[in-house]
Each structure stands twice: as C-alpha cells, then as structure tokens.
Structure 1
Amino acid sequence: MNTTQRALAVGVGAALLQALMLIAFGWPAAHIAPRDLPIAVSGPQSAMVADKLAQHDPDAFDITNPADEAAARDAIENRDVYGAIITGGGAPRVLVASGASPVVAQQLTAIAQQLSGAPAAAVEDVVAADPDDPRGAAFGAMVLPLVMSGIAAGVLLSLLIPTVGGKAIGLFTFGIAGGLLSIVIIQTWMSVVPGPYPTLAAVAGLVSFAVSGAVVGLATAVGRAGIGIAALTMLLVGNPLSAATSAPELLPQPWGAVGQLLPPGAAASLLRSVAFFDGAAATKPLVVLIIWAVAAIALLGVGALRGRRQSADPAPVPSGETVAV
C-alpha cells in the first residue's frame, strides 16, 4: 500500500469512527422517553390516574400502588420508584426525587400539571439534587472524565510498564489516588455531590480501577488490540448508555439495561445511591463494578501465565546452526 492509498484508508477510517461516535452519543439522547419507568400511584383515585397514564402511553410507566403516602415516600427513598402521585383530598399531588434523576422529576412535574389542570401543581421533591447542581448537569458531566482518565491510565500502564506485577501496582495506585483526589475536587471546588467523603472516594477509586483495569487486563491477555477493544467499549458504548444525565428507563431498551452492566452506568447509579439515598439500591451497581475489577485481575493473571510459558519454551535453533553440547 503506497502513501496515497494509506492516506485514503486513514481518512475513510476516521470518517467511519466519527459516524460511529455521532450514533453512539446522539442516538440515545435523541430518543429519551419513559419506558416502564417505575412510579407509584396511591390514594382513592389511583385507578383513575393509572388509566389516564395508560391512555397517554401504555408502555411509559411501571405503576405500583403503595398503601398510603408514607409507603410511597419509602419507595422513593429506597429507589424502588422515581416518584409518586398521591390522590385524595383535592387535586393530585406529586412526589419526585431529583436526586435520582432531574429529568424524570421534570417529566413527573409536567404530568402533575396535566392531572391538576393548574399551571403550578403541588410537587414535593422528596430527595432533592444538590442545590448547586439542581439540573444534574455537573453530576452527569463528571462521569466522562472518570472514564477518560481510566482509559488514559490503562493505556499508559499497558505501554510503559513491561511487567504484570508493575501493571498491578500501577492499577491499585491509580485507583486509590484517583478516588481520593477526584472526590476532593468534586466536593470542594465543584461542590456538586453530597455524601460521605470516604465512601464516595472508595466508589470513585473502584470505578477508576475497573475502567483502567479493563484496558490493562485485555492488553496483557490478548495484546495491544485489547487496548482498542476496551477503550472503545468504555467510550462508545458505556458512556452514552450510562444514563448519567437521565435514567436507564428513559433510554431505548434493552440499551438502558445494557449500560448498567458497564462501569460508566454502574458508576453513575452507585454514586447517586451513596450521595443522595444513603446507599439504597447500591448492591447491583457495586456488584457490577466488583465483577469488572475481578475480571481485570484475572486477565492480568492470564497474561502472567502466558508470559511464563513463553519464557519457559526453548528458543528455536535456526536451520543450519549447530547446538553446543
């Protein structure tokens, strides 16, 4: 392949990558809508409200009927539902949780206005987002830097550190230092995520380790191609499907659920649980991140075993040469 052909191939490849990035980042955002979004409807008129919601869109909401308002509040605080509609005693009232998703809270507020017929419906934010970030823009924006820095750390460790033991030391160092430093910046300078600093730092460190470990582990196990596979998976699949700025139930399915099985989506869900809900519904995203971290360690082990086998195999003798006895 001459220089002209190589230049054409690179240009076409870059254009295809650009198109892939536009699809990956633009397509989920362009199709935001409720899809089996868990909400609660309680009170004497709950059946009527559920019928109205089903008439508007039968697949939009997954409706449960708690016994009373207190049970509905518990469901919100435990992250079982995103909000609740309380009927009885006048116009329906709506309970939202902007800490779970400001976008969903806005949609439920609009529904409350439609149900009550008043421009200012009765809406209560049971679990509010940080007052310095009421729309959740800063919270959503912080997930991408965690992913990008993890990818960068993984690439550097893969290319600059030759031994598996050294890569492991680098991964643990990055996870600990990255978690501590990132939450210091987020809670002090940016001041957008409340919650206990040690727990949040541990979560951020686990995310950093999982992302960078995927890059290093695949590169160690399968070679440099693993760097591209892991980086593209985290950047072009995991980040757009993370639902960090919306909610998994607002993304086209099954992609919203798929995003929660990758470190970016699990990171967003776990950080929300720790920061706003005292750890409620933290088990699933925590398990996902732990699985990715364990998989990274296992891939490092595979790479170490492969390296030992290669070093143990005798070097082939070139044809025509004698072997000293």
Structure 2
Amino acid sequence: MNTSQRAFAVGLATALLQALMLIAFAWPAANIAPRDLPIAVTGPQAGQVTEKLNQQFPDAFEIATPPDEAAARAAIIDREIYGAVLTGGGAPRVLVASGASPAVAQQLTAMAQHLSGAQTAAVEDVVAADADDPRGAAFGAMVLPLVMSGIAAGVLLSLLVPAPGARLAGLAAFGVAGGLLGMAIIQGWMSVVPGSYLTLAAVAGLVSFAVAGAVAGLASVVGRPGIGIAALTMLLIGNPFSAATSAPELLPQPWGAIGQCLPPGAAASLLRSVAFFDGAGGAKPLTVLLIWAVAAVALIGVAVLRGRRAEVAPVPAGSPEPVPAV
C-alpha cells in the first residue's frame, strides 16, 4: 500500500469512526422515553390510576402498589422506585426524586399535571438534587472527564511503562490521586454533589482505576490492539449509555442495561447513591466496578507471569553454543 492509498484508507476509517460516534451519542439522546420505569401508586384510587397510566403510557412504567404514603417514600429513599402517585383527598399528588434523575423528575411532574388536569400539580421532591446543580447538568458532565482521563492514563501507562508490574503501580497512583483531586474540584470547588468527600473520592478513584485498568490490562495481554478495544468500548458504548444525564430506564433497551455493566454507567449510579441516598442502591454498581478493577489486575498478572516464564524458559536441546568472538 503506497502513501496515497494509506492516506485514503485512514480518511475513510476516521469518517466511519465519526459516524459511529454520532450514532452512539446522538441516538440515545433522541430516543429518551420511560421504559418500565419503576414507580408506585398508592391510596384509595390506586387501581384506577394504575389502569389509566397503563392505558395512556403502555410499557412506560413498572408500577408497584405500596400500602401507604410512608411505604412509598421509603421505597424512593431506598432507590427502589423513582417516584410515586398518591391518591385520595382530591387530585393526585406526586412524589419525585431529582437526586435520582432530574430528567425522570421532570417527566413525572408532567405526568402529574396530566393526571390532575391542571397547569400546576402538587409535586414534592423527596430527594432533591444539589441546589447548585438542580438540573443535574454538571453531574452528567462529570462522568465524561472521568472516562476520558482514565482512557488517557491507560494509554500512557501502556505505551510508556513496559513492565506490567510497574503499570499496576501507576494505576494505583492514578486512582488514588485522581479520586482525591477530582472530588476536591467537583465537591470542594464546584459544590456539585453533597456527601462524604472521602467516600466520593474513593468512588471516583475506583472508577478511574477501572477504566484505566481496562485499557492497560488488555494492552498487557494482547498488545496495542487491546488499547483500541478498551478505549472504544468505554467511549462509544460506556459513555453514551451511562445514563449520567437521564436514567437507564429512559434509554433504548437493552442498551440502557448494558451501559450499567460498564464502568461509566456504574460510576454514575454509584455516585448518585453515595451523594444523595446514603449508599442505598449502590451494591450493584459497586460490584460492577470491583469486577472491572479485579479483571484489570488479573490481566496484568497474566502478563507478569507470562514474562517470568519467558525469562526462565530453558534453551532447547541441540541449540548451538554461542561462539565467542576472537
């Protein structure tokens, strides 16, 4: 392949990458809608309201029927549901949790107006988003830098640090320093998320380690192609389907669920749980991040063992002895 042919191939390949990025980032945003969104309906007219919602919004909601308002509030605080419709004593009232998802809270507020037939409806935000970021814009924008910096760290460690064991030390340093510094900016300076600084920093550090470790781990085992596989997975699948600005149940399925199995989506869910819900609902995303982190360590461990075996491999029988130079 001559220079002109190579240039033409690179141009086509990058154009294809651009098209994939447009699809990955724009398609989910253009198809935001509730899909089996877990909510609750309680009170004397719970059955009538549930039937009405199922008729007017088919397949939009997964509706639970707790016994009373207190149970509905507890389910919201435990991150089992996103909101609740309270019936009885006049027009229905709606409970939302913008801390779980401002986008869902807005949709449930619109639903409340539809149910009450009025321009304004009785809506209570049980777990509110941070006062300095009521729409969750800064929170949603926080995930992409974590992903991009993690990819960059993984690439640099893979290219500049040849020893797999030393890469692991670099990953640990990046995770600890990145988590502490990142949350110092996000919480201390910008005041985007509430909660314990050290706990949030630990989550951010785990996310950084998991993303960078995926890149460095695959590179340690399969070489430079592993860098591209891991980086594109995080960038083209993990980030646009992370639901950091919406909710997994608002994204096209099964992509919303797949996004939660990758570090960016798990990061968004775990940070919300820690910041707004005292850790409720954080077990699953924490498990996902730990699995990615352990997998990264395991891959680097495989590369270390492979290198040691190569160092101690015996010289094949019959190999000619080296002749010393005269």
TM beyond 0.5: yes
* C-alpha distance in 2 between matches for 1:322 and 1:222: 33
* C-alpha distance in 1 between matches for 2:149 and 2:24: 19
Shift, 1:313, TM fit: 3.3
**Aligned pair 1:133/2:133, yes or no?**
yes
* C-alpha distance in 1 between matches for 2:149 and 2:315: 39
Match for 1:208: what amino acid? S
State the partner residue of 2:117: 117
Question: Secondary structure, in 3 states, of the residue corresponding to 1:127?
Answer: coil
* C-alpha distance in 2 between matches for 1:293 and 1:221: 15
Shift, 1:57, TM fit: 2.2
Shift, 1:314, TM fit: 5.3
State the partner residue of 2:184: 184
Question: Secondary structure, in 3 states, of the residue corresponding to 2:124?
Answer: strand
* C-alpha distance in 1 between matches for 2:11 and 2:124: 53
* C-alpha distance in 2 between matches for 1:227 and 1:311: 25
Q: Deviations over 1:203-258 (max 9, x none)?
A: 00000000000011000011111110100010111001100000000001111110
* C-alpha distance in 2 between matches for 1:107 and 1:86: 16
- Change in CA separation of 1:322 and 1:304 when aligned onto 2, cut-off 3 Å: closer
* C-alpha distance in 1 between matches for 2:175 and 2:126: 34
Match for 1:286: what amino acid? L
Aligned pairs for 1:242-261 within 5 A: 242-261=242-261
* C-alpha distance in 2 between matches for 1:142 and 1:75: 27
Q: Deviations over 1:117-155 (max 9, x none)?
A: 111100000000001111100000000000000000001
State the partner residue of 1:266: 266
Range 304-313 or range 172-181, more displaced: 304-313
* C-alpha distance in 2 between matches for 1:263 and 1:201: 16
Match for 2:50: what amino acid? A
* C-alpha distance in 1 between matches for 2:321 and 2:166: 38
Taking structure 1 as the reference length, what is the TM-score of the superposition? Answer: 0.97
Shift, 1:309, TM fit: 2.3
Which segments of 5 or more consecutive residues in structure 2 lack a partner in the other structure? none
* C-alpha distance in 1 between matches for 2:240 and 2:322: 59
* C-alpha distance in 1 between matches for 2:15 and 2:104: 35
Aligned pairs for 1:70-81 within 5 A: 70-81=70-81
Range 303-312 or range 84-93, more displaced: 303-312
State the partner residue of 2:202: 202
* C-alpha distance in 2 between matches for 1:303 and 1:118: 64
Q: Report the aligned-residue RMSD.
A: 1.6
Match for 1:181: what amino acid? L
Q: Deviations over 1:26-58 (max 9, x none)?
A: 111111100000000000001111111111122
State the partner residue of 1:106: 106
Shift, 1:312, TM fit: 2.8
**Aligned pair 1:58/2:58, yes or no?**
yes
**Aligned pair 1:7/2:7, yes or no?**
yes
* C-alpha distance in 1 between matches for 2:36 and 2:116: 23
State the partner residue of 1:276: 276
Number of positions where the alignment pairs a residue of Structure 1 with one of Structure 2 = 324
Question: Secondary structure, in 3 states, of the residue corresponding to 1:48?
Answer: helix
Taking structure 2 as the reference length, what is the TM-score of the superposition? Answer: 0.97
List structure 1 segments (4+ residues) > 3 angstroms apart after TM superposition.
313-317, 321-325
Identity of aligned residues (%): 76
Match for 1:72: what amino acid? A
**Aligned pair 1:170/2:164, yes or no?**
no
State the partner residue of 1:302: 302
Range 269-278 or range 52-61, more displaced: 52-61
State the partner residue of 2:229: 229
Match for 1:28: what amino acid? P
* C-alpha distance in 2 between matches for 1:299 and 1:323: 36
- Change in CA separation of 1:315 and 1:145 when aligned onto 2, cut-off 3 Å: farther
